[in-house]
Amino acid sequence: MSKQAQALSVLVVSTLAFTVCFMVWMMFGVIGIPLKKQLGLNATEFGLLTAMPVLTGSLIRVPLGIWTDRFGGRIVLAVLLAVTVPPIFLMGYATQYWQFLVIGLFVGLAGGAFSVGTPYVARWFPKNRQGFAMGVFGAGNSGAAVNKFVAPSLVVAFGWTMVPQVYAAVMLGTLVLFWLFSHSDPDHHVSHDVKFVDQLKMLKDPKVLKYCQYYSIVFGGYVALSLWMVQYYVGEFGLDIRSAALLAACFSLPGGVLRAIGGWLSDRFGAHAVTWWVMWASWVCLFLLSYPQTDFTVQTVNGARTFHIGLNVYSFTALMFALGIAWAFGKASVFKYISDEYHANIGTVSGIVGLAGGMGGFILPILFGALMDWTGVRSSAFMLLYGVVWVSLIWMYWTEVRRTELMGHQAPVAPFTQSFAR
């Protein structure tokens, strides 16, 4: 088999594996709804339940990225897939809240697949196509949408316990396919003499920390909302679980599938140009989504008159769809930064940045629940995300846009605009 054919095979089966891993990782976003009722959980407890798999899936990303650099992606990803099968299956037999939390930690290992697959896939492609290749692989984020299509039907037809049993079987089948159709290349990992501590020194690089901030919103926010949106639709608009999951997929699906387009745009226009516009699009969407359902009374010449301001389910879903597209592009553009600047240590740096994004996905659902318990306002989740986007915009302006302006050049967004003008 030619090297090009091997590269294509690796890309396809790695993307399939990541899609299944992400589907499993987001499992609590659907089965958590009947569990919330069964266990009598408040919003904060529900947020913690959905976030537990995200915690381990985030913490494991740095060592997985380093091991991928050292041992190669094929063996590391295969072992990871195999390790997750038993806890996924055991989830169906848990009965108490603490049991779900503990098993959820082990199920969450599936979320670490991203830090293995990203460097594994990238090294099979030339630099000018790495953004697109990583974008295709990153489209496995659409596993969040697959979960919303599959899990509600299983819950309604057979009860929530059927979901982990089916997912365990799917993960096992995926492991077999991945091993049969993936390939190894000894040139794709670094020397075994590289020390763990030496590679962790990348944490001191201020640019790595900046990319962590960007990814904490475009990926961390994506994960958090993917977990939160089904119960949001149920509570805010009074929908049943299947209708809520279908509408929530309008955010999750483009947020995953369109990542490949974001990679192509990043290859063509540059990582900064794409990320800059992603942050501004996010700012606009989150500003509108933050406004709560509001009734107010105005004293007019004809007496008191009451007005209502708030998003209906259609306008809300349209904004979520737009936000999903923006974050799909942003997830790809952040990793284009990494492939451009840290080619030799792409596994390590992608692990660190992936950790930051995953920790955002862990912390945000808990904060969403705490804010809702405290304020009673569901849209407070979007208010929090709006603030995070502000931090990213300010940081990007002072470290990239402002610096370029002071050097006497045009703002970096110009090539992006000029390219479209042509």
CATH code of the domain in which 304 resides = 1.20.1250.20
All residues at 6 or more sequence positions from 98 whose CB lies less than 8 Å from its CB, including other chains: none
pLDDT in the model for residue 418: 43
pLDDT in the model for residue 416: 42
**DSSP class per residue in 356-390:** HHHHHHHHHHHHHHHHHHHH--TTHHHHHHHHHHH
The β-bridge partners of 299 are 304
**Kindly report the CA angle at 263 between 357 and 416, in degrees rounded to 5?**
105
Question: Within a 10 A sphere around the Cβ of 273, how many other Cβ atoms?
Answer: 21
pLDDT in the model for residue 174: 95
Tens digit of each residue's pLDDT, the chain (422 residues):
777 888 889 999 999 999 999 999 989 988 988 999 899 999 899 989 988 998 898 888 878 877 887 788 899 999 999 999 999 999 999 999 999 999 999 999 998 898 888 888 888 888 777 777 877 887 888 888 888 889 998 998 899 999 999 999 999 999 999 999 988 865 655 544 555 565 567 767 788 888 888 999 998 998 899 889 988 998 889 898 889 989 998 898 887 778 778 888 888 888 888 999 999 999 999 999 998 888 888 988 888 999 888 889 999 999 999 999 999 899 888 888 887 887 766 767 777 887 888 888 889 999 999 999 999 899 999 999 999 999 888 888 887 776 666 565 544 444 444 443 33
All residues at 6 or more sequence positions from 8 whose CB lies less than 8 Å from its CB, including other chains: none
pLDDT in the model for residue 356: 84
Residue 10, domain member (yes or no): yes
Residue 193, domain member (yes or no): no
Shortest CA distance to 140 belongs to which of 175, 166, 114, 119?
114
Alpha carbon distance 383, 189 (integer Å): 42
Residue 19, domain member (yes or no): yes
Alpha carbon distance 244, 232 (integer Å): 8
Residue 78, domain member (yes or no): yes
Measured over the CA atoms of residue 316, residue 382, residue 234 and residue 228, the dihedral's sign is: positive
pLDDT in the model for residue 58: 84
Range of the domain at 136: 3-184+199-421
Q: Say if CB 29 and CB 54 are below 8 A apart.
A: no
Alpha carbon distance 361, 366 (integer Å): 9
Rounded to the nearest angstrom, the gap between the alpha carbon of residue 285 and the centroid of all alpha carbons in its chain is 18
What is the four-CA torsion angle of 80, 263, 214, 403, rounded to 10 degrees? 140
pLDDT in the model for residue 91: 93
Residue 191, domain member (yes or no): no
C-alpha to C-alpha distances, 278 to 224, 321, 413, nearest whole angstrom = 18, 14, 12
Alpha carbon distance 215, 275 (integer Å): 10
Could you say which DSSP state residue 397 is in?
I
Q: Say if CB 275 and CB 263 are below 8 A apart.
A: no
The residue written with tokens 């196509």 in the block is: 129
pLDDT in the model for residue 139: 80
Q: Say if CB 119 and CB 65 are below 8 A apart.
A: yes
Shortest CA distance to 205 belongs to which of 345, 333, 68, 67?
345
pLDDT in the model for residue 411: 45
Amino acid at 83: V
Residue 48, domain member (yes or no): yes
Alpha carbon distance 292, 375 (integer Å): 11
pLDDT in the model for residue 403: 64
**DSSP class per residue in 100-130:** HHHHHHHHGGGGGHHHHHHHHHHTTS-HHHH
Residue 315 tokens read as: 């306008």
Q: Say if CB 294 and CB 309 are below 8 A apart.
A: yes
Alpha carbon distance 380, 386 (integer Å): 10
Based on the number of CB atoms within 10 Å of its own CB, is 252 exposed (0-12), middle (13-18) or buried (19 or more)?
buried
Q: What are phi and psi of 219, to 5 degrees?
A: -100, -50
Q: What are phi and psi of 298, to 5 degrees?
A: -115, 135
Residue 32 tokens read as: 């958590």
Residue 256, domain member (yes or no): yes
Residue 189, domain member (yes or no): no
Give me the number of domains the chain comprises: 1
